[in-house]
Amino acid sequence: MATGVLRGLFRRVCVGVVWVCAPAVWAGSIETEFLEQPWPRQMVREYEVGKWPVRWRQKASVTEGIFAGASFNTTTPLEQTWELATDYTDLGSMTPGVTAVRMIEQTPTRQVIQIDIKVLWKTLRLRFEIEQERPDAVRFRLVNPELGEYRGVCLMRQEPNHTQVELATWLKPAVRLPSGLILSVERIVLLRGIRNFLETCEQHLQDAHEQSVALGEVDKGR
């Protein structure tokens, strides 16, 4: 079962927006250029996630919003990294509280995913708009009058021996929220999702190697 790295982004929203009740509102193409560059006065840290190094960056501003991002490398090639990163099939089973996941719209370049999440006795409905530029960019947005606006981008680039992955998110709350707590939740959830994703990438490489060896043994036996 694949664990897409973007699932960590969705889970972070589900954990953090338990007060959301209204339907989402879309406003055209998702603009994330401001996320795809260094942020003024950002804080940068290096973490060891399992056995993998991850570069973490964050920034909180009352006027600009809350920024969080991570960059890391996978040993899977770009095309396979893309397939794993954009696999949403087990989003519901992997995210606590999610009771239903519906694909409202699906084309090669755009999806709208509706998620029902149960918090105590109440079921909330979130809708994410996703734009994909295969095989190297995924952008998503959640807009809600009570929550505010949440955007994310995942960029993938093929390097000689690995694929470089860059994640960045931005939250502009509709009401003032404790930015330190939000950034702590963001970091914990995203780093956990990244570790799961890297373990999945490694398992796929191992499975592919074992399959190749098995096919070679079959060919020798003929």
- Does residue 160 lie within any of the structural domains? yes
- Which carries the bigger pLDDT value, residue 7 or residue 207? 207
- Does residue 125 lie within any of the structural domains? no
Buried b (16+ CB within 10 A) or exposed e, 108-135: eeebbbbbebeeeeeebebbbbbbbeeb
Model confidence over 126-136: pLDDT tens digits?
788 889 999 99
- Does residue 112 lie within any of the structural domains? no
- Which carries the bigger pLDDT value, residue 221 or residue 115? 115
Residue 167 and residue 70 in contact, taking contact as beta carbons nearer than 8 Å = yes
For residue 198, the model assigns a pLDDT of: 92
Mean pLDDT on 106-124: 80
Mean pLDDT on 168-193: 87
pTM: 0.80
Q: What's the number of domains the chain is made of?
A: 1
CATH number at residue 14: 3.30.530
Domain that holds residue 160: 6-28+41-98+135-216
- Does residue 105 lie within any of the structural domains? no
- Does residue 191 lie within any of the structural domains? yes
